[in-house]
Structure 1
Amino acid sequence: MGDIGIMKPEVFQNLNEIAVEMKTDVVRFTQKLIQTPSISGEEGDLADLLVEEMEKLGYDEVFKDDQGNVFGLVKGTEDGPTIMYNSHMDHVSAGDANNWEGYDPYGAEIDICEIDNQDKTAKDITECIHGRAASDVKAGEAAQIYAGAVLLKLREMGYDFKGKFMFQGVVQEEPAEMVGMKHVIDKTLPAKGLTYDAMVSSEATSLKLYCGHRGRVEMLVTVYGRTSHGSAPWLGINSIYKAVPLISKIKDELYPSLPTDPDLGQSSISLNIIECLPGALSIVPDKTMLSLDRRFIPGEKVEDVIKQIQDIIDELAAADPEFKADVKIKTAVEVSYTGVEYEAEKNMPAWKTPKDHGFTKAAAEALEAVGQEVKYGYWDFGTDGSKTAGIDRKPTIGYSPMQEQYAHTPYDKVRTDFIVKAIAGNAAIFIKATEAGPDAYKTLEW
C-alpha cells in the first residue's frame, strides 16, 4: 500500500488526471440530474438516480432513510474523521419557460456560451450545461459524488487514506426550514451509528471557499383593529392605518441601527408581504399581517431579534390605547415525498467558519495542491450550514463549481470545466482534512 500519511505531490496530480478522465461520465450524470425535475417534496426520482449512480461507481454503502434522504459512504483504509459532503435534491420552480431564451429548463442542453469567470469580472467562452438547478445544486451534487469515486480509484490503485467520505443528499432545503438536514443529523445518523466531524456544502461558490452567511428568521406581526362598514370607517379601527407607524419605525429606526459583520455585512430587515382581513372592499380590516424577513449576523440571538419588534409594539401601545399587535416566528408544515411530516420554524441561524480555522486551512492547502487559486467568499442566501455550523457548531465550508448569480434565474447554467476542477478539489479537501490534526475539528465559537 502507498503511504499517504502526508500526501505526496504526485498523488494530487493523480486527482486532476482522474477527474479529467471522468469528465464524460460526470457531465452525462449532471445532464440526467437536470433532466429529472425534483421540486421540494417531489425528489423521489432524483433520489433513485443518486442511489443508482453511487452503486454503479462502487460506493461501499448506499442507502436512503425514511424521509427520503440519500447517503453514500466511501471508507478509508484507516480510522479517521468523517467529512460530510452535503447537497440538497430539491430545486425551485422553473418559472415561465418563455424566459429561458430558447433553452428547455429540463433539457440540460450543452453548448459553447459566454459565461462569467470566477470573480464575475469578465466573460469566458466555454462549454456550459443549461437548465433548472444546474447552479443550485445539481452540478455540485454530481461533482461531490464523483469526488467519492476518485477516492475509490485511489484506494484501488493501492493508496491508504483515513476516515469516511459521506455524501448526503437532503430533501426540502429550498423552503428554508432545514427539515431534511435536521432529520439526517438528529435521527438518521444516530440510528445508523454514524456521526460527522465537518461538512462541505455544494451550494454555489465559483470554486472559492465559502465560509458562512447571515442567519434568517421570518417573523409574522399581526396588528389588530375592529371592523366596521366601509361607509362608516369612524366606527371601526383600521388595522392597516395602525400598522403604518410600526412599519415606519422598523424602516427608519430599527434597520439603520442593526449591527454589521466585517465579512457578512450588515444585518437587515425587509417587509415583504402585507395582508389584511377580512379583505373585502366594504369592510374596515380588523387584522393586518406583516411578514418580515430578518437577516442577522453571528452573535445576534433570535430571541433578541424578536424582542426588537416587541419593544416597538410596546412603545406604540403605550402611546396609543387602540394599538394592539403581536409578533411570532412563522412556521410551516413540510411533508417529504415519503410522507414524513414536520412543522418547522422559519429560523436559520447565522454562522461563520474563520479562515484561520484548521478545517478551512486544510481545504485551502488542498486546493493549492491541485493547482487551484484559493479565494474566499460568503453567501448572500442561506444554506443547510445553518444546522451543521449554526446549531451543531461543526466546521463547515462551501466549495462548488456552480456560480451564485445564476441560481433561481432563467439563465441557470454551469461550466463543465469547473465541474471537473470541483471533482479534484473535493477529493483533495477530503484527503487534506482527514490528515489534519484536532485543530481542523474544533468547535466553532462566536
Structure 2
Amino acid sequence: MLTESRKEKLITLCQELIKAPSYSGEEEEVTKAVKNNMQKLGFDNVKIDKYGSMIGHIKGKGTGKSILFDGHIDTVGISDRSLWSHDPFGAEIVDNKIYGRGASDMKGSVAAMIYAASCFAEDKNFKGDVYISCSVHEECFEGVAGREISEYVEPDYVVIGEATNLNLARGQRGRAEIKVETLGKTAHSSNPQIGKNAIRHMINLMQEIDNIDLNEHDVLGEGILEVTDIISNPYPGASVVPNLCKATYDRRTLVGETKESVLNQIEEEINRLKEIDEDLEARVYYAEDEEDCWTGEKIKAERFFPAWLYDKDHELVQKASTGLAQVGLNPEISHYSFCTNGSHFAGEKNIPTVGFGPSQEHLAHVIDEHIEVDQLLKGCKGFYGIMEAVLK
C-alpha cells in the first residue's frame, strides 16, 4: 500500500505539519496546511468548525459504517530553544528520525492518518465513511473540542491516534483538576490569636485527604489524587495571617467514577473534619478555564475528563486488531497511561473507541522531540489496516 513514492509524500507531509508552529489557540497555520493537503489528496469535503478543528471526509461507494480518526494539532511550548539540538520547527531528518515540536505528539500520527485515508480511498471500493479530525486545544482540554466534532460527524467508531508504539489501546484513566479552599480571618501575625489561619486549616484538611481510600481497577490500575500546588492569600503574606488557602489536586480517575463521586470523597473528609473543628470553613470544586481559539471563539470547560475502557472481545477492538495484523503489525492490546480526546468520544458519548498511533508515549513534550521514520510509515499502514477491517 505504501510505494516508495507514497512514503516520500507521507514524510514530506509530516515535515510540513511540524514546520507550522501550533501552540494551543494558535493552530491556524497548521490547520491551513492540513486543509490544503486534504484537498490535494482527494478528500470529498473539508470543514473547519467553530473552535478551529479541521474535519476531512472521504465518502465510500454506498451506505455503511462511519469511522473517525482523531488527532490533535496543537502542541505544548518549547521552553528554552537553546536546549534543542535540532530546530524545533525545522523537521530535520537525522538518523531516520524527524525532529520537531509535535513530531511525536502528534503531527506524525495526523500525517499518517490523513495519508492512510487518501491511499485507502484510492485503493479500495468501500462502503461507509472515513473522517479525519485534526482537533485543537487538546493540550488544555482533553476532548472538549471533540464535542463539536462528534456532533457534526456522528461516527459509529473512533480511533484516537495518540502514540501507542503501534500497539492497540482499549481505554485510559480519566483526569480531573480539583480545587480545595479553606477560609480564615486576617490578623497581624504578631497577634495571630485574633485571626484564623487558613493555611493551618488546609494542613489539617490535607492530612485527612491523604487518607482517602482510592479505587483500583484490574486493568487501569490505581486512582491517583496528588496535590500539585498550594497558595495562600494575601501573597506574599508579610506579617499577615492569611484568610484564604487554595490547593490544587490532580486526580486520575477510573471507569465508573463520576463527577459527583470524585468530589464526594473530599466533601466527606471536609464534613468529618468539621465535626472535630467547628471553625473549619472549606469547599471543593472543579477547576474551570476558558481559552481563546484561533477562530476568535472561546473554548471553556470544567476540568473533568472521564475514564473509559472496552473489553478485549469488543467488536471494534477485535476488528482493529485484525486489521493491524493484516498489514504486518503484531499489536499488544493495552491502554493509555495518560488522558486523551477519548474522554469525550468514549467517556462522554460512549462511542466505541480504540487508540492506535506511531511513536512512544515518553517522546511527548520533551526537548528534541522526534518520530522515527519507520514508526511513521508503519503507523500509516496500521491506520489503513483498521479502515480496511472496519469498512471492508
How would you bin the TM-score normalised by the shorter chain?
Answer: over 0.9
Kindly indicate whether the alpha-carbon contact (under 8 Å) linking 1:176 and 1:382 is maintained by their aligned counterparts in 2: no
Kindly indicate whether the alpha-carbon contact (under 8 Å) linking 2:18 and 2:103 is maintained by their aligned counterparts in 1: yes
**1:261 aligned residue:** 217
**1:213 aligned residue:** 172
Q: Determine whether 1:285 maps to 2:219.
A: no
- Counterparts in 2 of 1:163-242, with a 5 A limit? 163-186=128-151, 189=152, 194-242=153-201
Alignment size in residue pairs? 391
Q: Determine whether 1:51 maps to 2:35.
A: yes
Tell me how far 1:434 sits from its aligned partner: 2.1
Tell me how far 1:233 sits from its aligned partner: 1.6
Describe the SS at the equivalent of 1:270.
Answer: strand
**1:149 aligned residue:** 118
Call closer, same or farther: CA 1:144–1:177 in 2, change over 3 Å: closer
Q: Deviations over 1:175-218 (max 9, x none)?
A: 125331112223xx1xxxx4210101111111111111111111
**2:263 aligned residue:** 306
Q: Which amino acid aligns with 2:255?
A: P
Describe the SS at the equivalent of 2:140.
Answer: coil
Q: Which amino acid aligns with 1:69?
A: S
- Counterparts in 2 of 1:79-94, with a 5 A limit? 79-94=63-78
- Runs of 5+ consecutive residues of structure 2 not aligned to the other structure: none
> How far apart are the structure 2 equivalents of 1:110 and 1:346?
37
Q: Deviations over 1:367-405 (max 9, x none)?
A: 111111121222121111001100111111111112111
Kindly indicate whether the alpha-carbon contact (under 8 Å) linking 2:88 and 2:368 is maintained by their aligned counterparts in 1: no
> How far apart are the structure 2 equivalents of 1:37 and 1:281?
42
Kindly indicate whether the alpha-carbon contact (under 8 Å) linking 2:316 and 2:352 is maintained by their aligned counterparts in 1: yes
Kindly indicate whether the alpha-carbon contact (under 8 Å) linking 1:331 and 1:344 is maintained by their aligned counterparts in 2: yes
Kindly indicate whether the alpha-carbon contact (under 8 Å) linking 2:142 and 2:339 is maintained by their aligned counterparts in 1: no
Kindly indicate whether the alpha-carbon contact (under 8 Å) linking 1:388 and 1:396 is maintained by their aligned counterparts in 2: yes
Q: Deviations over 1:199-258 (max 9, x none)?
A: 01111111111111111111111101110012222221111111111111222x11xx21
> How far apart are the structure 1 equivalents of 2:209 and 2:18?
41
Kindly indicate whether the alpha-carbon contact (under 8 Å) linking 2:51 and 2:299 is maintained by their aligned counterparts in 1: no
Tell me how far 1:40 sits from its aligned partner: 0.6
Q: Determine whether 1:104 maps to 2:87.
A: yes
Of residues 346, 356, 374 in structure 1, which corresponds to 2:331? 374
Kindly indicate whether the alpha-carbon contact (under 8 Å) linking 1:334 and 1:344 is maintained by their aligned counterparts in 2: no
Describe the SS at the equivalent of 1:78.
Answer: coil
Tell me how far 1:350 sits from its aligned partner: 0.5
Structure 1 ranges of 4+ moved more than 6 A: none
Describe the SS at the equivalent of 1:79.
Answer: coil
Percent identity over paired residues: 34
**1:76 aligned residue:** 60
- Counterparts in 2 of 1:396-415, with a 5 A limit? 396-415=353-372
> How far apart are the structure 2 equivalents of 1:167 and 1:407?
21
- Counterparts in 2 of 1:385-424, with a 5 A limit? 385-424=342-381
Describe the SS at the equivalent of 2:67.
Answer: strand
**1:427 aligned residue:** 384
- TM-score normalised according to structure 1 size: 0.85
Kindly indicate whether the alpha-carbon contact (under 8 Å) linking 2:142 and 2:343 is maintained by their aligned counterparts in 1: no
Q: Which amino acid aligns with 1:134?
A: A
Q: Deviations over 1:244-291 (max 9, x none)?
A: 11111222x11xx21111221100101001011011222110100011
Kindly indicate whether the alpha-carbon contact (under 8 Å) linking 2:49 and 2:148 is maintained by their aligned counterparts in 1: no
Kindly indicate whether the alpha-carbon contact (under 8 Å) linking 1:71 and 1:169 is maintained by their aligned counterparts in 2: yes
Kindly indicate whether the alpha-carbon contact (under 8 Å) linking 1:128 and 1:416 is maintained by their aligned counterparts in 2: yes
- TM-score normalised according to structure 2 size: 0.97
Tell me how far 1:311 sits from its aligned partner: 0.6
Kindly indicate whether the alpha-carbon contact (under 8 Å) linking 2:104 and 2:163 is maintained by their aligned counterparts in 1: yes
> How far apart are the structure 2 equivalents of 1:271 and 1:67?
31
**1:444 aligned residue:** none
Q: Which amino acid aligns with 2:239?
A: S
Kindly indicate whether the alpha-carbon contact (under 8 Å) linking 1:44 and 1:337 is maintained by their aligned counterparts in 2: yes
> How far apart are the structure 2 equivalents of 1:44 and 1:319?
55
Kindly indicate whether the alpha-carbon contact (under 8 Å) linking 2:142 and 2:340 is maintained by their aligned counterparts in 1: no
Kindly indicate whether the alpha-carbon contact (under 8 Å) linking 1:177 and 1:344 is maintained by their aligned counterparts in 2: no
